[in-house]
Amino acid sequence: MGSGVIVGVMLFSAMVFTIIIGTGLLFFQSTMALEDGMREPEPEVTAVQQASAIVIFALFLLAGLLFVAGAARIVTRSA
């Protein structure tokens, strides 16, 4: 396997990682903006929204890290 293919796979995995993290950040940001736009939010509702946004962002982060780790393992095994 040529070094160009290895670089290409790593760039692709970095791009997918960025997209996954960006999606998680956008979701997190939109949930926070939704909270700011409410008139009189109930504390329980906003706490649940914040917790769910943090959990979903963490899942997106984990998915991105697993994707990069998997791509790196494939590249190093076939190199």
Strand, coil or helix: 67? helix
- State the angle between helix axes of 3-37 and 43-78 in degrees (0 to 180), rounded to the nearest 10: 180
Q: Is the pLDDT of residue 40 over 60?
A: no
State which residues form the domain around 58: 3-78
Residue 50: which pLDDT band, with cuts at 50, 70 and 90? confident
Task: Give me the pLDDT at residue 12, please.
Answer: 81
Q: What is the DSSP letter of 53?
A: H
Count: domains in the chain: 1
Q: What residues have CB less than 8 Å from 13, skipping those under 6 apart?
A: 67, 68, 71, 72
pTM for this predicted structure = 0.47
Q: Is the pLDDT of residue 1 over 60?
A: no
